[in-house]
Structure 1
Amino acid sequence: MVRVGVVGYGHLGQYMVKQIMDHPDLELAWVWNRSDIKGKVADHLILKDLNSCGDGNPDVIVEVAHPDISKQYGQLFLKHADYLMGSPTGLADRETEEKLKSAATQHGVYVPAGAFWGGEDIRKMSERGSLKGLTVTMKKHPSSFKLSGQLEELNKTVADKAVELYRGPVRGLCPLAPNNVNTMAAGAVAASNLGFDNTVGVLVSDPGLIDWHIVEVEVLGPPGPAGNQFTVRTQRMNPAAPGAVTGSATYASFFSSLLRVGGKGAGFHLC
């Protein structure tokens, strides 16, 4: 029986708690939330202080709250359990990335693949040194973005046609769109030889995408004898309600990632 602690009780957190409680091989150790959840979760399962995350002896701690959780508590979580990061955009912060790398010695940091298609193949290419380029493009309706800074202002100007809000290193994009680009962060983790600085993220605000979130992945490998380059392109169309930050298929995918946590030891793992 795998005991799971859940950090966050929003839409995804509520889904995860229900799935954990219904699964024969999982047991809920505790739930923590920033606001009061008394009456929503049994009193004995509510964790009041994340500094007490070892209570209930969790095997896995799942974060579905905010990237800052990893910065503040990630090292502590890894002293007690494997850690599944629901907000891997937090790894774009260099200090957080380095701290978790150094702390993941006994337990591992797991990053859900989510909407990132082909992650295992990209990981294999990265480990062989044959991955030469990775670009992840995310296209959503303007109302589906939660942005800050100049991207927020630019998104407000989108009217009747698609606008490219950003193109550049994923590390620079994550702090501006932490709720929207976890898929890109997963890509940067899979492409370990490229990382957050050399994985390219493209964010497109498209008013025509009322019912969909689209993720496009372009992978570049080594050039062939004639100079032509190995290339793979995929497009994932995820059904999503208007204004939804997370597509409907992502919930089930995230729970599937939880079922794959464990047994891989130290370091960072895509799941």
Structure 2
Amino acid sequence: MSMGEMRRIGIVGFGHVGLYLVQQIREEGEKFNLELAFVWNRTVEKLEGIIEPHLQLHRLLEFESRKADLIVEVAHPDITRDYGELFLSAANLMIGSPTVLSDPEIEQKLREIAKTSGHTLYVPSGALWGGEDIQRMADRGTLKGLRITMTKHPDSFQLQGDLAQKNQTVQDRTILYEGPVRDLCPMAPNNVNTMAAACMAAHTLGFDRVIGVLVADPSIPDWHLVDIEVTGTRNKETGQVFSVTTKRCNPAKAGHVTGSATFSSFWSSLLGKHLSA
């Protein structure tokens, strides 16, 4: 694509993040050479009165006719599971629900399609602070451990199975889960995308060796907390171990799955500051 040529963006999903991205493209797209190719939502009525008819995509399988350069999925992991290979065969793809990549078969298929098609698979950093640094450590072989703790009000979780039942009985700060991120993703597909993004950045550890901790805390109705603990190699001379600990306090509306600061992170990712898978 030549300098100054417009990049056409397809938005799949029109929840809070999808709406935000559409607004940003409308307000600042020209400055960054971005324009909307289409907007799709499972419930098309949600687009009425907001998205111009010619930009509405009613049937997702017809996405290719809109000639998008980049498709941004901000809907649900099932969308990438069902359509990810098709998307990547025709355009670059940014996965806003990377918990789907905890399925090793899906991850492998998407990587293969990306190689054969010449398109790129991206994962937005979202609420992951320091993702590019983690990726660089993994690239150098110096990353030895990664632990992520996400703390939210119980109403901000959309959980499944036993985890959902456990969350319903929470009265005080409670650890709902602690263990490999791969096992957590199917139980919290909408809540732990930050952890999934971390697993992609920490590619030498992956979903099986990155440890995720999910905490429900009724005392924080309008905050999402993300604690990241990174462990590196041991200094051969001193025996000291490299480590970094960060704490992100992300403001959030009561009961919302996504914190407010995450929206701007998605926009930055769309502009090119992202993790390539």
TM-score (norm: length of structure 1): 0.94
Match of 1:41 among 40, 51, 55: 51
* Unmatched tracts of structure 1, length 5 or more: 263-267
One-letter code of the match for 1:168? G
- Where 2:159 maps in the other structure, the secondary structure is coil
Q: CA deviation at 1:261?
A: 6.7
RMSD: 1.4
Runs (4 or more) in structure 1 with deviation over 4 Å come to none
Match of 1:248 among 260, 263, 271: 260
Bigger drift between 33-42 and 168-177 goes to: 33-42
In 2, distance between residues paired with 1:261 and 1:250? Answer: 13
Superposed CA deviations along residues 64-107 of structure 1, whole A, max 9, x for unmatched, are 10001111111111111110111011111122111111111201
Quote the residue 1:155 is aligned against: 167
Q: Check conservation: 1:82, 1:261, Cα contact below 8 A.
A: no
- Where 1:55 maps in the other structure, the secondary structure is helix
Q: Check conservation: 1:2, 1:59, Cα contact below 8 A.
A: yes
- Where 1:28 maps in the other structure, the secondary structure is strand
Q: Check conservation: 1:5, 1:58, Cα contact below 8 A.
A: yes
Q: What percent identity do the matched residue pairs reach?
A: 54
Quote the residue 1:88 is aligned against: 98
Q: Note closer, same or farther for the CA distance 1:131–1:231 as it changes in structure 2 (3 Å cut).
A: same
Quote the residue 1:17 is aligned against: 22
Q: CA deviation at 1:162?
A: 0.7
**1:107 pairs with 2:112:** no
Alignment of 1:105-254 (within 5 A): 105=115, 106-159=118-171, 161-225=172-236, 226-254=238-266
One-letter code of the match for 2:9? V
Superposed CA deviations along residues 167-202 of structure 1, whole A, max 9, x for unmatched, are 111111011111110000010000000111111100
* More helix, by proportion: 2
TM-score (norm: length of structure 2): 0.92
Q: Check conservation: 1:141, 1:210, Cα contact below 8 A.
A: yes
Quote the residue 1:265 is aligned against: none
Q: Check conservation: 1:188, 1:196, Cα contact below 8 A.
A: yes
Q: Note closer, same or farther for the CA distance 1:261–1:45 as it changes in structure 2 (3 Å cut).
A: farther
Number of aligned residues: 264
One-letter code of the match for 1:64? V
Superposed CA deviations along residues 122-171 of structure 1, whole A, max 9, x for unmatched, are 10110111101101110011111110111111111111x21000011111
- Where 1:69 maps in the other structure, the secondary structure is helix
Superposed CA deviations along residues 207-232 of structure 1, whole A, max 9, x for unmatched, are 11122110000001111234332111
